[in-house]
Amino acid sequence: MSTEAGMSQKRLAVVTGASSGIGAASAKALVEAGWEVVGLARRREKLEALADELGQAFSYQVCDITDEDSTQIAVEAIVSKGPVKALVNCAGGAIGKSPVAASKIEDWRAMYELNVLGTLRITQKLLPSLQESEGSVLVISSTAGIEPYEGGGGYCASKSAERVMARILRLELIGEPVRVIDIAPGMVHTDEFALKRFDGDQSKAQAVYAGVPNPLTAEDIADCVQWALGQPDTVDIDQIVVRPRAEGSYTKVYRK
């Protein structure tokens, strides 16, 4: 499909982690830009609310990408309706902020299962459809995958793995009509990221953003997603690193 032909036809994007944060914002931005979007997430009620808000251009599959059967069922339902033009991998998160010496193995395992293996699983399953459509794999990684920081062991390791996976996939697909895009956000203030990291502890979650003028929002990242996917099929935005102006690195943040 040529770029111009592709623009005039239906463009279907699959967004993982669509129930909240960057995933929900990306689904909205893509619908606003004329895409049809299938949102994947575990929480049906959140997906239903998004469907009510976004209307016909948005549908969803309740899906846990850490589960093989759940993902297979969702993918079969999606590809039966036609080729997928973009996969936006937003599902992911941080669990805990303990030093390596004291980290819980199960926290690391959960982050690997979701951030790395879940992304791998859904990407593998949708790749044939993306190849058919001259599509794009987009990964929301993190600056945590570029600059490790104390206490970030499991999360930084998983995000490094996710970034490396995207980079290697890009190399392995050279010559094929598929783009691989890695967007690495720094500090993004969403409702759930820090709360999940700190096991629901509101004060620890709020301290992450305390005094920081204008942390990024989920909508800022969704703009990057929409812009990167909106480039011509032959233009691969390999990597975007995006931070709030007040953040130079995880450990160099201006607070008022």
Stretch that binds ligand 8X3, among 98-106, 129-137, 142-150, 217-225 (CB under 6 A): 142-150
Of residues 60, 112, 149, 155, which has the active-site annotation?
155
Those residues with Cβ within 8 angstroms of residue 164's Cβ, 6 or more apart along the chain or in another chain: none
Q: Does 187 bind ligand 8X3 (CB under 6 A)?
A: yes
| Options 31-39, 43-51, 117-125, 138-146: segment touching ligand 8X3 (CB under 6 A) | 138-146
Q: Mask 20-59, x = binds ligand 8X3 (CB under 6 A)?
A: ----------------------------------------
CA distance 214 to 90: 22
Q: Where are the alpha helices (DSSP H) in 15-134?
A: 21-32, 44-54, 68-79, 105-111, 119-133
Is there a catalytic annotation at residue 155? yes
Asked if 178 interacts with ligand 8X3 (CB under 6 A), we say: no
How many residues touch ligand 8X3 under the rule CB under 6 A: the total is 8
**For tokens 């820090």, what's the residue?**
194
Three-state SS for 61? Answer: strand
Contact region with ligand 8X3 (CB under 6 A), list: 39-47, 95-103, 136-144, 214-222: 136-144
Q: 3-state DSSP call for residue 91?
A: coil
Distance between CA 39 and CA 58 in Å, rounded?
A: 7
Q: Distance between CA atoms of 17 and 66, rounded to whole angstroms?
A: 12
Give contact residues for ligand 8X3 (rule: CB under 6 A).
Answer: 142-144, 152, 185-187, 250
Q: Annotated active-site positions, please?
A: 155
